[in-house]
Amino acid sequence: MADRGYFIGSVGRFESVKVMYQKRLEIWFKANKISDNDKVNVFLAMIGSEAFEVVLNHITPEDPTTRNQIALRLKFRSRKQQPNEIIADYILELKKLSRHCGYGDQLETNLRDTFVGGLANPKVQAKLLLVSHGRQPGTASSSAFKVSGVTKCYRCLNSAHQPQDCPHKTAKCFGCNKVGHFKRACDPNRVKNSRKTAAPTQAGKPRRGRGRSQGQRNANMVSPEDSDSRDTSEEVDFIGTLFHTTQLTKDVPPYTVVMRVEDTNINFTVDTAASVTVISETEFHKFFSDFTLKKARINLKSYSGDAIALAGETKVKVTYEDKIYKLPLVVVKGNKVALLGRNWLKHIKLQWENIFSVGHTENAVKQVLHKYDSVFKAAGPGDKIKHHMAEVKIESGSVPTFCKSRPVSYALSDAVGRELDRLEAAGITKKVKHSKWAEPIVTVPKTDDTTRICGDYKLTVNKVVEGDAYPLPTAEGIFATLPGGRVFSKIDLTNAYQQLELTERSKELLTVNTHKGLYQYQRLPFGVSTALAIFQSVMDQILGGIQGAVCYLDDILISTKTPEEHAI
């Protein structure tokens, strides 16, 4: 064995597939250069106390201490699966009780018989009696983790393929004359007597939700305990705990939707097979600790029939797409994923096109744009920053300066005229006949064939303006404001300065003289030396107190730790 105080990697926990665990163990032995002589000791040292007890029971079935073997066997055989006890815990307890029973090489057989006989769910029990017939005794308990019913194709009733792969998808039914199934699959008696055929509820129409492959089903499904009429094949599709995800679906991301529960955004996994909407006890206490839980009126169980431990239920206010609902919420013990079940889906109409979109980030952005469309649409004449105004202060005793207009080239005359008309129509400027102050304009052609117009304030106002000492943010200051961020976005304000209204005193100071006459600015224009500081001061006041948001001139930077927080 390698002479070192550490090992490369780890074998990991034992799972239900024994061959895979054995392969991992062999690779680990090779990687760590464990000799054949040391493999047994190393393996026994790493399996833990519970597994070691099982091994010890095999190699030393006769305990040297004096025990009442009859009493121990009676206790072992009388052990039944308890309410809320999952299969794995039940098996473990049976193995502990069997250690001193003296069964020797008959241990596996007795474990199997007691295990099957003590199961709480008679349907799982009956299924295991069929599955375990003819197998080795030692495979009985592990079979409980793999039992699943055979799903027949609802088109032809063949169990060798799934409906989407059926070669008879285009076949015409002679019973209902519809395309998509055989006549024998259209028999209503067959639909009534066997749910696992997923037969149509009406001729030629498959039942909604059926036809999914076995790999697509998982133990996210929650059903009320009064649904014992379900077929055994569905009841025991997976023995395990709630919210377990199968190997075949781990690469398929779940469909999620954010809903506002009370005052908190909760990210739910959409699960149309879950009869109720559930949230974990951990998440409930984190966000709704002031709520009182009532005893749940229903019992829940997983596909295995194992009872799911409930903390209680309550009613909450749910907001989705500007509509408010009052709905029941079941709280399950532990730290699990929140599931959006059918009892909420019955009342809430989801935006499925957004949920099924390929890009989750793009989808989230679209939702925000849709929800706040009045913010992101093009600014109209009356749109401006509310509750804030810009004031340009000049030195006391300053003499007004009036400059004549500058000629505009013939090539730019029409474009400049259109821009002046646009500014006036948008309420950014106002045409006046007289003014003590007037600046000529500077025109800048843009790539979209429009023209930007700025007042040449360096000749007038900028000479006498009082400097604004408000500091502009630095890169270091911005980074310090956005710590721990993992998701970022930037909102670029269109014509940002021109959304900030001027005080009456400032409007005359910023009048421009053009070839079409005098125009008095009603909003903060470009070119004023203090415009940057004025606008930065206003934006800092607006965004003050909003965590993870900072403004740099006309750009708002947003930082959060998760995409869900970002969508709020």
What's the pLDDT score for residue 135? 47
Rg (CA), the chain: 37
- Give kind and range of the element (H or E) at residue 301: strand 300-301
Quote the CA–CA distance of 490 and 309 in Å, as a whole number.
44
| Range of weakest confidence among 46-60, 110-124, 199-213, 503-517 | 199-213
Question: Can you give the pLDDT at residue 12?
Answer: 66
Q: Hey, where are the domains in the chain?
A: 69-143, 152-210, 247-371, 389-566
Give the end-to-end CA distance of the chain in Å, rounded to a whole number. 56
What's the chain's average pLDDT?
A: 75
DSSP 291: S
- Pick 507 or 482 by higher pLDDT: 507
Chain centroid to CA 180: 36
Q: What is the band of 441 on the pLDDT scale with cuts at 50, 70, 90?
A: very high
Q: What CATH code would you report for 389-566?
A: 3.10.10.10
Percent of the chain beyond pLDDT 90?
14
H runs (alpha helix) in 441-530:
461-464, 475-481, 504-509
At 568, the pLDDT band (50, 70, 90 cuts) reads low
At 132-165, the pLDDT tens digits run 444 444 444 444 444 433 356 777 776 556 677 6
**Whole-number pLDDT of residue 279:** 92
Phi and psi at residue 224, to the nearest 5°: -65, 150
pLDDT in tens, 378-388: 666 667 888 89
Q: What is the pLDDT of residue 205?
A: 41
Average pLDDT over residues 502-512: 91
Please tell me which residue, 301 or 534, carries the higher pLDDT value.
534
Distance CA 97, CA 77 (A): 9
User: Average of pLDDT values for 391-397?
Assistant: 90
3-state SS class at 323: strand
254-299: pLDDT as tens digits: 778 888 998 888 888 888 777 889 999 888 988 888 888 998 888 7
Contacts of 188 (CB under 8 A, 6+ apart): none
Higher pLDDT, 499 or 126: 499
E strand spans, 94-218? none
CA distance 98 to 92: 10
Angstrom distance (rounded) from CA 562 to CA 333? 24
Strands 439-445 and 511-514: parallel
With bands split at pLDDT 50, 70 and 90, how would you rate the model's confidence at 60? Answer: low
* Best CA proximity match to 256, nearest among 332, 337, 334, 317: 337
Which residues, in sequence order, are bridge partners of residue 340?
A: 270
- In eight-state DSSP terms, residue 165 is G
The pLDDT-based confidence of 440 (bands split at 50, 70, 90) is: very high
Report which residue type is found at 27: I
Any idea what DSSP says for residue 11? -
Please give the share of the chain, as a percent, with pLDDT higher than 70: 71
- What b-and-e string marks burial along 239-254, b requiring 16 or more CB atoms within 10 Å of the CB? bbbbbeebeeeeeeee
Structure token pair of residue 220 = 């996210």
Helices marked H in 36-185 — which ranges?
Answer: 36-46, 49-59, 69-77, 87-98, 107-117, 122-131, 140-143
Asked if 272 and 209 touch (Cβ cutoff 8 Å), the reply is: yes
Considering only residues 57 and 270, tell me which one the structure prediction assigns the higher pLDDT. Answer: 270
Which of 10-24, 235-249, 435-449 shows the highest mean pLDDT?
Answer: 435-449
247-371 sits in which CATH class? mainly beta
Main-chain dihedrals φ then ψ at residue 443, nearest 5 degrees: -105, 135
| Band of residue 549 on the pLDDT scale cut at 50, 70, 90 | confident
pLDDT at 437 over 90: yes
